[in-house]
Structure 1
Amino acid sequence: MLAGWFGIGRESVVAGIRKKFGKKGATVVEGNVRAFQAGLEFAELHPVKEERKMKAPQPGQKMKLLTDGNDMCAAAALFAGCTFFGGYPITPSTEIMQFLDREIWKYGGTVLQAEDEIAGVGAAVGASFAGKKAMTATSGPGMSLKTEMLGLASIAELPLVCINVQRGGPSTGMPTKAEQADLFQAAFSAHGDCLRPVLAPTSVADTFGITVEAFNLAEYYQTPVIVLSDQDIAQRKETIDPIDTAKCQLVERRRPTETELANFARFKLSESGISPISHPGMAGGNYLASGIEHNELGRPTASGEMHAQMNEKRFRKFNSLKNRRDLFVVEGDPNAPIGLVSWGSVAGAALEALRLAQAEGLHAKLLVPKLLYPVAEQVYQDFFASVRRGLFIEQSFQGQLYRLVRMYVDLPPQVKAFAKSGSNPIQPAEVLERLRELAVALQNHANSHQREAVAD
């Protein structure tokens, strides 16, 4: 019906049907082709009130990609050098594993579809210990199961990328609906003092760059990195420009020098907190990578003093990450008195609302963090320096980023959460209406001060 109403290329659709269902046999293929033809006939008999035919592509136009966030994530992993994926099927992340299962072998890699979520991430941790770039992917319920293994990777300081394609929760929740309610889980689901970077893409195209960045951070800081995608980004089809991979840089883990291997201290208390990492078979590079606390050589210890030093090391190494302003996007006038903060898939609605507000003459700006944790205090302090009223726009009941940032940053008192859970997406019109209300409140406040000044 859509092809009939909007003039979508019929031959291309039929070709896609034959490709999609080809393995299921001629009966299935022809049945779907007949269903498509029936839709065309219905559209012809029931035309839309206003004709809206899509224009045919013009000769010489640039090539576009029709893809989704899960495919972009998997393709980015291959580009970043991932050679091992361990996971278990779960909606809405399964397509990442399916893509890699199809393609990773061409690059000398391996996919392990494990018996459960714990085994999948455990295998990925083992692959990282063996010197490979490794990844796992899941959704909220799977993240709950992976938590213990992520703790092992944290204390053993092993690089690992973990993709969480968020869905409505808790428990089974709504597997086919998007939500942004796993941020607390990503930041805090660990016993003991533990810090793991958390990133979030804002679109299908952005998923490629964020996934590459996740591998770079994992390798550089020797840590698990969690990427919070969501069902909306992961499974929606989008037409995007081809990715310019020449703009992407790749980072490798810090290997020990010959001098360092002479008396190898895997967990050396370095100034940066980052120490050299070996792999099995490297001469002189043997060490114990376990979940028990250790000294610089990796030997188990029950020393409270050494435990405190290692905790400080594992946190200190992330100090430079909080200065990565390139992981934040600011739109609008830097001195605007109204500020919006939004992340993930909802950032698109916030950006559209900002542009509509600017067209009405409203003075506002928008901050889109792609690094959610650790909280970059200075970035938020600088953004809110001019803000007198504002909103954190999130698809969750609690407004988790709002609450997380408040733990570290003294926000202006009139900055509130605009949080909404459920499967219905936040619309730009809703945000625009709230912006109008903030602008009126600002004006009323200014008028009140003027009246008080006149009375004095």
Structure 2
Amino acid sequence: MINQLSWKVGGQQGEGIESTGEIFSMALNRQGYYLYGYRHFSSRIKGGHTNNKIRVSTSATNSISDDLDILVAFDQETIDVNHHELSTGGVVIGDSKFGPKLPEGSHAKLFAVPFTEIATELGTSLMKNMVAVGASASLLGINTDIFQSVVEQIFLKKGEAVVSKNMDAIRTGMEYFEKESQGNVGDFKLAEADGQSRLFMIGNDALALGALTGGARFMPAYPITPASEIMEYLIKKLPEYGGTVIQTEDEIAACTMAIGANYAGVRSLTASAGPGLSLMMEAIGLSGITETPLVIVDTQRGGPSTGLPTKQEQSDIFAMIYGTHGEIPKVVMAPSSVEEAFYDAIEAFNIAEEYQVPVIIVTDLALSLGKQTVNPLDFEKVDIRRGKLDTTEELPELDKGVYFKRYEVTEDGVSKRVIPGMKHGLHHVTGVEHNEQGKPSESPENRKAQMDKRMRKLAPLADRFPNPVLKFENHDEADLLVIGVNSTRGTIQEALPRLEKEGLKVNHGQIRLLHPFPTEALQSMIDKAKKVVVVENNATGQVAQLIKMNNKVDKVESILKYDGNPFLPSEIHNECKELF
């Protein structure tokens, strides 16, 4: 028996590839296996090659694997595109309908199974993916009964007969493969899992759940890949808690509506990707100068322009930090796992209200849409902090003609905030420079006082932010410090033990706060290393440049990848090794 393997299903977009992977992984998750999944899909509604690669393990895993053990193919293109990943002795299970063939020189074993034919005989060709799941179950040595609860969850609303037929398809697929293979396969039998109950979710769902748990009750947004799942999750859930989602005409409207809701005292967020973030820039500046809390999720994807809308990239970093015209305080947070995405969403609202600033939660496509096993969430950790929001029924009475000092100059840079309509809370709000009461003012003295007030807000944040840099340090004196951001965390952690086995002393730092930059937290790690290398999915080394701007470091090397695919552990291992 084995403790882990990598399984992939592929075919044309629109023929059930995603649901095949979903059913396969959900069933294994419920048995207590750890999983990590990554989908490769085309930027079109139907057609084009798509695949779903899922790693299954009896212990925690947070990265896609270098190789592939089992490939389920619904067409020849799937074999042609993915066969190079197959390990020696790997298995391809292809639909006999298209006459599957292995490329010359392949060391894999091919089994043709009539997915479509079996499904058609059972009632409909649409169930061919269930036949494929059954064949996979046979190879893994798992009982088809584990799929019962998943099939019921997905199909019971269509009736018991549909559930029964789909289970028949799974069992028939298993029986056929057992006869076809006659045991002529390697050891793909999975060791028994621990049976523990864990979540299995994508980063976007974790962000949405975190926003809901953190008190968000309004989301204006415009659909865009890879952010739309946040909106789709909250469309279903927010109404149950007195909230709502509005699909706006564009991202400009979404951002300004979120500002308006937050001004009214309702925690609100919006979510988008690079093109939408570009449209929001002026509104982000409005949030900054009016000191109105705002939470934005930016799910990075391949750019520029429409670019590669369904592919991995980390190239919005400078845009998020420096994109707005003028100078405002803002916060850019970068969770590195699905679990962190949940807690960070809650913290983003706290920071936005405590400091009265725009907060951007940045993810990347692999984190937003990649599916991971997540330990049960601890709701005892949830802490709602609303900062200087005064919700008393009546504020101190003001002299005639005097407004409430909404923008009062304070030592910490944060002024009292009130809900519109409160008695004695009348103040002016404008996007032009203003005095303490919000009235427009072009006075040089006032301008400097208000700018200084706003800009000193975030001075303490780097020290107060929970784990601005995740530190994985095994050495007081390291040969190499590897730094990453967002989804690269798991891949780096898998690559580094290989370097350690080869005699290198390696530490790892994962940046979780991109702005204000955690200079001190990172400097302590830099000082312990002979060499520093930054792993990031862009062409210009944006995180590396941030480090050079903020830290004392002799030289920073970059490992860059910008072909639309996430890093593999072997790529990081090999490129780090070349530095020595």
Please give the TM-score of this superposition, normalised by the length of structure 1.
0.88
Conserved in 2, the CA contact under 8 Å of 1:187 and 1:195? no
Conserved in 1, the CA contact under 8 Å of 2:313 and 2:365? yes
Counterpart in 2 of 1:384? 526
Match of 1:271 among 411, 431, 442: 411
User: Which structure 1 segments of 5+ residues have no match?
Assistant: 441-456
Counterpart in 2 of 1:249? 383
Counterpart in 2 of 1:283? 423
Q: State whether structure 2 residue 188 is matched by structure 1 residue 52.
A: yes
Conserved in 2, the CA contact under 8 Å of 1:89 and 1:97? yes
**Offset, 1:220:** 1.0
1:221-262 C-alpha deviation (Å, 9 max, x unpaired): 111110111211111222221111212322113124777675
- What's the secondary structure of 2:578's corresponding residue? helix
Counterpart in 2 of 1:348? 490
Match of 2:454 among 314, 334, 345: 314
Counterpart in 1 of 2:472? 331
Counterpart in 1 of 2:567? 426
- What's the secondary structure of 1:89's corresponding residue? coil
- What's the secondary structure of 1:70's corresponding residue? helix
**Offset, 1:193:** 1.2
**Offset, 1:153:** 0.8
Counterpart in 1 of 2:351? 217
- What's the secondary structure of 1:232's corresponding residue? helix
**Offset, 1:289:** 2.2
Q: Give the fraction of aligned pairs with identical amino acids, expressed as a percent.
A: 36
- What's the secondary structure of 2:523's corresponding residue? helix
Conserved in 2, the CA contact under 8 Å of 1:339 and 1:384? yes
AA aligned to 2:185 is K
- What's the secondary structure of 2:276's corresponding residue? helix
Cα distance in structure 1, aligned partners of 2:214 and 2:491 = 30
Cα distance in structure 1, aligned partners of 2:171 and 2:310 = 29
Conserved in 1, the CA contact under 8 Å of 2:201 and 2:372? yes
- What's the secondary structure of 2:534's corresponding residue? strand
Cα distance in structure 2, aligned partners of 1:385 and 1:26 = 64
Conserved in 1, the CA contact under 8 Å of 2:462 and 2:468? no
- What's the secondary structure of 1:162's corresponding residue? strand
Q: State whether structure 2 residue 186 is matched by structure 1 residue 186.
A: no
Counterpart in 1 of 2:208? 74
Cα distance in structure 1, aligned partners of 2:495 and 2:191 = 28
Cα distance in structure 2, aligned partners of 1:48 and 1:350 = 36
Cα distance in structure 2, aligned partners of 1:259 and 1:376 = 38
**Offset, 1:158:** 1.0
Counterpart in 2 of 1:168? 302
Cα distance in structure 1, aligned partners of 2:242 and 2:168 = 42
Q: State whether structure 2 residue 541 is matched by structure 1 residue 399.
A: yes
AA aligned to 1:275 is S
Q: Label 1:307 to 1:238 Cα distance change in 2 as closer, same or farther (>3 A).
A: same
Cα distance in structure 2, aligned partners of 1:326 and 1:102 = 32
Q: Label 1:299 to 1:99 Cα distance change in 2 as closer, same or farther (>3 A).
A: same
- What's the secondary structure of 1:407's corresponding residue? helix
Q: Label 1:57 to 1:387 Cα distance change in 2 as closer, same or farther (>3 A).
A: closer
Cα distance in structure 1, aligned partners of 2:307 and 2:433 = 36
- What's the secondary structure of 1:115's corresponding residue? coil
- What's the secondary structure of 1:388's corresponding residue? strand
* 1:129-144 mapped onto 2 (5 Å cutoff): 129-144=263-278
**Offset, 1:355:** 2.6
Counterpart in 2 of 1:445? none
* 1:77-88 mapped onto 2 (5 Å cutoff): 77-88=211-222
Q: State whether structure 2 residue 334 is matched by structure 1 residue 200.
A: yes
- What's the secondary structure of 2:483's corresponding residue? strand
**Offset, 1:201:** 1.1
Q: State whether structure 2 residue 578 is matched by structure 1 residue 437.
A: yes
Structure number with greater Rg is 2
Q: Label 1:52 to 1:303 Cα distance change in 2 as closer, same or farther (>3 A).
A: same
AA aligned to 1:315 is M
Cα distance in structure 1, aligned partners of 2:143 and 2:253 = 45
Q: Label 1:307 to 1:348 Cα distance change in 2 as closer, same or farther (>3 A).
A: same
Match of 2:553 among 377, 401, 411: 411
| CA-atom RMSD in angstroms | 2.5
Please give the TM-score of this superposition, normalised by the length of structure 2.
0.70
- What's the secondary structure of 1:91's corresponding residue? coil
Q: State whether structure 2 residue 524 is matched by structure 1 residue 364.
A: no
Conserved in 2, the CA contact under 8 Å of 1:181 and 1:395? yes
Cα distance in structure 2, aligned partners of 1:7 and 1:141 = 46
